[in-house]
Amino acid sequence: MYPAAECWTACLFTAAGIHFGFSKELLVALLFLSLLMIVTMTDLQYMLIPDKVLLFFLPLFIAGRMFSPLDTWYAGFAGAVCGFFLLVFIMFVSKGGIGAGDVKLFGVIGLTLGVKLVLIAFFLSVMIGAVYGMCAAARGRLGKKQPFPFAPAISAGSALSYLYGEELFSFYIKLASGGA
């Protein structure tokens, strides 16, 4: 599993370098992608997203957003609130169908992405998780009501949103307005 994680990390770092070039945002991107890979690996192995990891990265992202802000100075904080409370709502409605680690992770993700991109990340994460769940259930690897690690889907959706969310949003707006 570790060689695969190293390969994915190298691919993601390369994509970030191509996407952001040599900029302040590249440092935020490398930290963000590192966080996503760490939580993916720990969730796959232990079904756990460690608070220590999130607390380590949180001040780094706060500082990163101070030096490389989103649209406005408060956009990252609004994204953190949106990401956190969106998953709190899901956790409440699903009666524990999602873990507290996922909730806290989405708060940190929202700080990095802002409101629009955290919503795209949420949508992509749910779609990726649903496809995985259906495939795993069809193959007999996942039973009904059996929990599975959701952080890999969150990480994939968040990385896609961070790197290509603006393009995905523009594409969606074109589709919605009837001009594909």
Q: How far apart are CA 85 and CA 100, in angstroms?
A: 11
- The two tokens of residue 37 are 């890979």
* Closest C-alpha to 154, from 92, 109, 111: 109
Say if residue 154's pLDDT is above 90: yes
User: Mean per-residue pLDDT for 144-167?
Assistant: 92
Domain that holds residue 14: 2-176
Say if residue 180's pLDDT is above 60: no
Distances (CA, A) of 91 to 4, 58, 95, 145, 160: 31, 22, 6, 15, 23
The total of structural domains in the chain comes to 1
Determine how many CB atoms are found less than 10 A away from the CB of residue 87: 24
The confidence band for 1, taking pLDDT boundaries of 50, 70 and 90, is: confident
Q: Percentage of the chain with pLDDT > 90?
A: 76
Q: How far apart are CA 143 and CA 7, in angstroms?
A: 30
Q: Is 142 helix (H, G, I), strand (E, B) or coil?
A: coil
pLDDT by residue (tens digit) across 44-99? 999 999 999 999 999 999 999 988 888 887 899 999 999 999 999 999 998 877 88
The confidence band for 2, taking pLDDT boundaries of 50, 70 and 90, is: confident
Q: Is 101 helix (H, G, I), strand (E, B) or coil?
A: helix
Say if residue 161's pLDDT is above 60: yes
- What mean pLDDT, rounded, does the chain reach? 93
Segment (H or E) for 79? helix 75-93
Judge contact between 106 and 118, C-beta under 8 A.
yes
The confidence band for 179, taking pLDDT boundaries of 50, 70 and 90, is: low
- The two tokens of residue 4 are 């695969």
Judge contact between 162 and 29, C-beta under 8 A.
yes
pTM, entire model: 0.92
The helices-and-strands tally (H runs, E runs) of the chain is: 6, 0
